[in-house]
């Protein structure tokens, strides 16, 4: 017996992240190869954005994904989140040169307030929400507080990028494959005030030993450079986004 379709709402659906994310949802990579989906794609009420969204929908049609049962294209949050089982809040104003993530709160705060209210009023009772738009921790809190009828644990913020950055820096310094670095943590918001935590991290690999034996030890033991760990490592991860931009 086939499963009933689940409704997945995606904001910023015509953006770069949405463009990469939607086919993965439609193909079954996110919810499983036996789970049909209805994509509810939300964009800003601007003609150019909505035209781009139509193009994305046409490409999804051309892919002929068997699991994709229907699509909704809209600029209205109430329509986009109607009966949604999952809401992926990807869309937000991007960070420009010279901007810190705190600057984005003034721009994106009202957006996530409105989206939280719309999810509260129109989404399915079992809805789950994942916030991607920056600064995602704060935006997640704003959306969560704007949805008083939903349990707080329905909301999650996607800050894995900061964890990946910390993991990559430790691997590079230790001269090991990034897969050998485990248990890196990030404390705080997705901003320059975050605290990358190496105290719980472990590093596994042969390059820090004279033998070819694969061994594992805590990151501070392997790297053996307290000044780098407590200074350059932390500031590099904190400022990585600004450096890239």
Taking a C-beta distance cutoff of 8 angstroms, is the pair 72, 38 a contact? yes
Q: Is 140 helix (H, G, I), strand (E, B) or coil?
A: helix
- DSSP class of residue 228? I
| CA 152 – CA 133 distance, rounded (Å) | 18
In which element (H, E) is residue 5 found? none
Catalytic residue (one of 82, 95, 173, 190):
190
Q: Is 159 helix (H, G, I), strand (E, B) or coil?
A: coil
In which element (H, E) is residue 183 found? none
| CA 113 – CA 144 distance, rounded (Å) | 9
Taking a C-beta distance cutoff of 8 angstroms, is the pair 219, 234 a contact? no
Could you identify the residue written with the tokens 């900061």? 162
Interior angle at CA 80, CA 78 and CA 82, nearest 5: 65
Taking a C-beta distance cutoff of 8 angstroms, is the pair 164, 172 a contact? no
User: Does 122 participate in catalysis according to the annotation?
Assistant: no
Taking a C-beta distance cutoff of 8 angstroms, is the pair 127, 154 a contact? yes
C-alpha distances in Å from residue 63, one per residue of 26, 57, 59, 88: 9, 10, 6, 22
| CA 83 – CA 8 distance, rounded (Å) | 9
- Catalytic residue set: 190
């Amino acid at each position: 017996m086939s499963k009933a379709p689940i409704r997945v709402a995606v904001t910023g659906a015509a953006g770069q992240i949405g463009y990469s994310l939607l086919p993965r949802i439609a193909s079954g990579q996110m919810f499983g190869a036996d789970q049909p989906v209805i994509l509810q794609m939300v964009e800003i009420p601007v003609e150019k954005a909505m035209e781009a969204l139509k193009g994305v929908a046409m490409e999804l049609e051309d892919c002929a994904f068997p699991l994709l049962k229907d699509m909704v294209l809209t600029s209205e949050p109430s329509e986009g989140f109607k009966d949604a089982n999952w809401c992926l809040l990807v869309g937000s104003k991007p960070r420009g040169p010279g901007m810190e993530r705190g600057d984005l709160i003034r721009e994106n705060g009202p957006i996530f307030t409105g989206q939280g209210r719309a999810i509260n009023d129109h989404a399915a009772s079992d809805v789950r929400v994942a916030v991607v738009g920056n600064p995602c921790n704060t935006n997640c809190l704003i959306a969560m507080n704007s949805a008083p009828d939903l349990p707080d644990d329905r909301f999650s913020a996607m800050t894995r990028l900061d964890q990946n950055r910390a993991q990559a820096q430790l691997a590079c310094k230790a001269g090991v494959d990034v897969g050998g670095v485990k248990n890196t943590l990030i404390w705080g918001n997705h901003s320059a005030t975050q605290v990358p935590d190496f105290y719980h991290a472990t590093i596994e690999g042969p390059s820090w030993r004279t033998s070819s034996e694969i061994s594992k030890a805590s990151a501070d033991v392997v790297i053996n450079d307290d000044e780098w760990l407590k200074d350059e490592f932390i500031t590099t991860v904190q400022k990585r986004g600004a450096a890239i931009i």
